[in-house]
Amino acid sequence: MVRGWKRGVVLLGCMAGLQSARAQQFVLPQTLAVSNRDRIFPGLNEFSEAGAVVARVRDASATWYNPAGLALSERTTFNVSSAAYQLTKLGSSNAPAEFTRTASFQPIPSALGVAFGKEVLEWHGMRLGLGIYNEASWDSSVRLESNPGPDTRVSYVMKSLFRSLAFSAGAGWGLDPRYRFGAALLFDYTETGDIGQTSGDIQNGTALQTVIQSLDFGGNTLHLMATLGAQAEPLPWLSLGLVLQTPGIALARGGTVRYEAQTSTLQTHQLALIDDSNAEFDLRKTFKATLGIGVRFWKIELEGDIRWYPASATYTLLATSVPIQVSTQLPGQAPVVTEEQFASISFATRQVWSGSVGLRLRLSDLVTFHAGFYVDPSPVSTAVNGLFQKADFAGFRGGVSFTAPQGLSGSISLGYERGTADTTLGVGGLAVTPLPVEISFTTFNLSFAIGYKF
């Protein structure tokens, strides 16, 4: 069920697990970021129509949505999302704790694209395009305080990010005005990271146990992908679109991880530490297929798009050859230092069907109304989830665009999104039963865009 506050909170719960400072019990907490990718919809009008343009796109955004649409670029077109803002609220309706509801307000440049017309290239109906697109952007923090028992305290503070930026270069070719084909190369750069601390203590009047953990983690990947697209208009009122995107080929990747945990009792003090600036990190890009069907009648254009992602095999998300240094000190004795191996983190994605519906209503030669609805289920597999959390989203978009006779155009759009994730607040290392928590999230978007046709 989709309710609550925004997508980012999704990763919170699992991350809060306080693990024992013993190295063999070390588990990298989950982040606050989510890995959903069909939520921003960059472009001049594409944002307002929730990205449901695969069958109809024909401007500079075609290199991202369907390169076949470039074939219709008679004149050179340039557009840019000059400013896009995202307000995110995090909360929980059933957290057994003091959940500090937080909000983040951040600018998100979403798109910069150009489609070259026949004045630049005139070769058998071939057209070219370039673009830079923001595929995903999440940056937020949260604080959670809990007292599971009269003598027990748990604290969780985390700041997480997940970003994905893609550069694309494509070409479109028109067999005739009704049938078009295209291809594009995409370079996708994705980064994720977390900085946070968990802590907890138990005191029963005769004994005291304290656990403090700190985490500083980051990972990034650069993938190369290819896109093949086709558009057809078999009937005057019907548009069809198909896009196939290959799995990503990793060109570069890297990670860093620094983790420190201290456990103290009246009898023992223990410190576990790992610091590796060359950790192995791998977040793979899977195959993607998109089918779009659009219809036109009166002054209305309506399109529905379905996107399919297959499940991935289980693979290693994070690993390091650097051992965990464990220092243990007993009263009246010198510290004893031992080493234990870091257990690699596995990950897998599930099969996902997502979709969008977009509406375009021309009010006049100058003004057009746009609206859209979308659903974006999480790709995270519940069975194998070494880092991220599973969250499903649904949202609405709406806006108006303006087109001047001289070739200048612009748009302003609003968006609203809700989602939830069920997770567990674990407190490993302390004698506390894991607590179920439903994390909720709400997102508001404001987007401005401008375009020019030469």
What is the extent of the structural domain holding 386? 7-453
Q: Does residue 140 contact residue 159 with C-beta atoms inside 8 Å?
A: yes
- Residue 372 is assigned to a structural domain of this protein: yes
- CATH number for position 62: 2.40.160.60
SS (H, E, C) 190-222: EEEEEEEEEEEEEECCCCEEEEEEEEEEEEEEE
Q: Give the whole-angstrom CA distance, residue 287 versus residue 309.
A: 6
- What would the pLDDT profile of 51-110 be if each residue is shown by its tens digit? 999 999 998 999 999 999 999 988 899 988 765 666 666 666 555 555 555 556 666 667
Write the single-letter amino acid at 104: S
Nearest Cα residue to 172 out of 228, 240, 113: 228
Number of structural domains, the chain? 1
- In this prediction, residue 351 carries a pLDDT of 95
Is the predicted pLDDT of residue 354 greater than 50, yes or no?
yes
More confident residue, 436 or 96: 436
Residues 6 or more apart whose CB falls under 8 angstroms from that of 119 comprise 75, 76, 454
Nearest Cα residue to 172 out of 68, 245, 76: 68
Question: Quick one: CA torsion of 406, 63, 291, 173, rounded to 10 degrees?
Answer: 80
- What would the pLDDT profile of 112-125 be if each residue is shown by its tens digit? 999 999 888 777 78
- Residue 2 is assigned to a structural domain of this protein: no
- Chain position carrying tokens 């990670």: 255
- In this prediction, residue 96 carries a pLDDT of 54
- Residue 433 is assigned to a structural domain of this protein: yes
Q: Give the whole-angstrom CA distance, residue 189 versus residue 227.
A: 16
Question: Quick one: CA torsion of 395, 135, 259, 322, rounded to 10 degrees?
Answer: 140
- Chain position carrying tokens 């395009």: 129
- Residue 1 is assigned to a structural domain of this protein: no
Q: Give the whole-angstrom CA distance, residue 411 versus residue 402.
A: 6
> What SS3 state is found at 50?
coil
- Residue 189 is assigned to a structural domain of this protein: yes
Within 13 Å of residue 128, how many CA atoms lie on the same side as its CB?
7
| Stretch among 178-182, 225-229, 381-385 having the lowest mean pLDDT | 381-385
- Residue 421 is assigned to a structural domain of this protein: yes
